[in-house]
Amino acid sequence: MTPDIALSQPGQFTCKEQVNLVGLKGRGKVTQAEVAMTEQFRLGILPPIRESGDVEQNPGITLEGPVGAVSSA
């Protein structure tokens, strides 16, 4: 990944490369894979509300890039 813009959380950044987040209702192109409340409706997912970086009990989503896709659940 090629860092682009530093975020307020220490050690986190957006990237120049992009992936699609794919949910039940659609997809969105992103440089940072953290879903905001407004994005959950467009993607058709229900992410939990918690601190940035806390990935315990992740509800899952598919990341789709130029060389393939990976799903988490």
* Residues 44-67 pLDDT 10s: 777 777 777 777 776 667 888 888
Question: What pLDDT, on the 0 to 100 scale, is given for residue 26?
Answer: 79
Q: How far apart are the C-alpha atoms of 38 and 19, rounded to whole Å?
A: 18
At 2-49, the pLDDT tens digits run 899 888 888 888 888 888 888 777 787 765 566 677 777 877 777 777
59 contacts 44 by C-beta, under 8 angstroms = no
Stated pTM of the model:
0.50
Q: Is the residue at 15 inside a domain?
A: no
Number of domains comprising the chain: 1
Question: What pLDDT, on the 0 to 100 scale, is given for residue 44?
Answer: 79
3 contacts 13 by C-beta, under 8 angstroms = yes
Q: Is the residue at 38 inside a domain?
A: yes
16 contacts 32 by C-beta, under 8 angstroms = no
48 contacts 59 by C-beta, under 8 angstroms = yes
Domain containing 40 equals 23-50+58-73
Q: Is the residue at 46 inside a domain?
A: yes
Q: Is the residue at 29 inside a domain?
A: yes
Q: Is the residue at 18 inside a domain?
A: no
CB neighbours (10 Å) of residue 24?
Answer: 9
